[in-house]
Amino acid sequence: MSLSHTAPRRAPARAAAGPSDLYRAVWRWHFYAGLLVLPFLILLAVTGGVYLFRAQLDPLIHADLMRVEARATPSRPPSEQVAAALAASPGTAFRYIPPAAPDAAAEVGIKAPDGARTVVYVDPHEARVLGSLSDKGTAMGFVRRLHSLAVAGPLANALIEVAAGWTILLVLTGFYLWWPRRAGTGGVVTLRGRPRERVFWRDLHAVTAAAIGGVLLFLAITGMPWSSVWGRYANEWANGHNFGYPAGLRVALPMSDEHLAHAGPTSWSLEQARLPLSAGEGQPIGLDAAVARFDALGLAPGYVVALPGGPQGVFTGSVYPAELERQRVIHLDQYSGQPLLDMSYADYGPLGRLLEWGINIHLGQQWGLANQLVLLAVCLVTVAFCVAAAVMWWKRRPAGRLGVPPLPHEAGVLRGVVALLALGGVLFPLVGLSLLVMLGADLLLTRRRRPRAARA
């Protein structure tokens, strides 16, 4: 297949670059952005739409493990539940999750001697093992890893960061191309033509993309905090060098080298937060007393208890419910049971609070079912406009060619557009690197076209 674009023969002279030149330059890079992003967008939309309902789907899919018969009898002590899990899967317990509801199972995370991590599900009323899965091995855990391409390794995961950056470019250039330039609503808010005609697919792409473009831009930006490069540096910037905690929070404590993200689920703002060290001596209070202490301190149901990782380790209770104001992390000295650090969403810095709010919406949590349904609709429309873009391109492309939009008559216009794109490349380094690759490819296409134009 030839990669040559479809530019008409260059006019010998042109007075000044007008709107048509700018339109061509923007259209060209919108095409490149779509070429890179559309497959990823479909993947993200499908997996994201499913993951929105993780709280409903995982207990349904794994009902034999996660659900028990609700009883009026009290639960067995947490230590007894952990002992039953260890008898079924020998190793070292590193996490305990008390049941969040009367019909929910308890979860015990166990690290085997070979390093493999397993989650054992226990009926809390009988301390009876129901079964086990690999850590993060639930159906929705797999969907999340597929959503981020973590299933394919770090390099593939980095491609999601590139895709998110190019999605921002795709939306901004798309709005410019969609913006009405003449009277009438055709192709702006209404569809023209019939499905066998290209104009129908062009309008379907433009109208649907414009309808959700703002939300798609928001999702791309709020997805960036999880990215492998930009997200890590943004996290450090948000929390400074205060042991990974928000600036201003009292952390004048002996700290270990272990991070909270390694101990269990955590918020984005605290992924780099280091665990404090227990300073007490004597007999540890044990898991039963630690759970009772967390309950007394008012941790919301559904919290996770990370167990001490050695003689100086701490009990860490953390919970991240849909209500941001109820997010909380408490570290207890394993000997005295006293809180060493107790922080909530209100303790995050301004940037951390803003990003956590955006992430909460991104996950479909902020406004409950309404949040989920709106984002599900956005995911479905995203698939629709991606398919429409592919059909539109297929109907437009010349036989045997890629169909790259034509160059502007004035090269300076194209350079100006690329310079604006470069600003985004500076902000997002991996996106900037991919921009250089695409710019090199575009120069090759241009040079291949010039000799043909000269021969003609």
Does residue 25 contact residue 408 with C-beta atoms inside 8 Å? yes
Domain check: are 159 and 32 in the same one?
A: yes
Q: Which of 375, 30, 44, 41 is nearest to 212 (CA)?
A: 375
Cα distances (Å, whole numbers) of residue 167 to 41, 124, 275, 428: 8, 46, 36, 12
Residues 73 and 158 in one domain: no
290 within a domain of the structure (yes/no)? yes
402 or 373, which is more confident: 373
Residue 142, in any domain of the structure: no
Q: Are 89 and 137 spatial neighbours (Cβ–Cβ below 8 Å)? A: no
Q: Are residues 34 and 167 in the same domain?
A: yes
270 and 340 share one domain: yes
Q: Examine residue 364 and state whether it is found in any structural domain, yes or no.
A: no
User: Which residues constitute the domain of residue 298?
Assistant: 248-348
Q: Where does the pLDDT of residue 412 fall: very low under 50, low under 70, confident under 90, or very high at 90 and above?
A: confident
Neighbours of 214 (CB within 10 A): 12
User: Which tens digits make up the pLDDT trace of 154-182?
Assistant: 888 889 899 999 999 999 999 999 998 87
User: How far is C-alpha 368 from the geometric centre of its chain's CA atoms?
Assistant: 18
Mean pLDDT of 440-448: 82
66-99 pLDDT per residue, tens: 999 999 889 999 999 999 999 999 999 999 999 9
**C-beta separation of 115 from 325 below 8 A:** no
What are the contacts of 373-377 at 24+ separation with CB within 8 A? 374/215, 375/48, 375/49, 375/52, 375/215, 375/219, 376/49, 376/52
Q: Are 112 and 167 members of one domain? A: no
Distance CA 334, CA 290 (A): 8
The answer to whether position 119 is within a domain reads: yes
- Answer yes or no: do 271 and 301 share one domain: yes
Q: What is the mean pLDDT of the chain?
A: 89
Q: What is the pLDDT of residues 300-343, one digit of tens each?
A: 999 999 999 999 999 999 999 989 999 999 999 999 999 999 99
Q: Write out pLDDT tens, residues 248-296.
A: 676 778 888 888 888 777 888 888 888 999 987 889 999 999 999 999 9
Q: Say if residue 29 is in the same domain as residue 171.
A: yes
The C-alpha atoms of residue 436 and residue 446 are separated, in whole angstroms, by 15
**Location of structure tokens 């999880």:** 226
Q: Examine the domain organization and report whether 39 and 181 are in the same domain.
A: yes
Helical H segments across 52-153, by residue range: 54-61, 63-66, 78-88, 139-147
Number of domains the chain is built from:
3
Q: Per-residue pLDDT tens for 3-36?
A: 334 444 444 444 444 458 899 999 999 999 999 9
362, 345 contact by CB (below 8 A): no
CATH of the domain at 105: 3.10.450
pTM of the model: 0.89
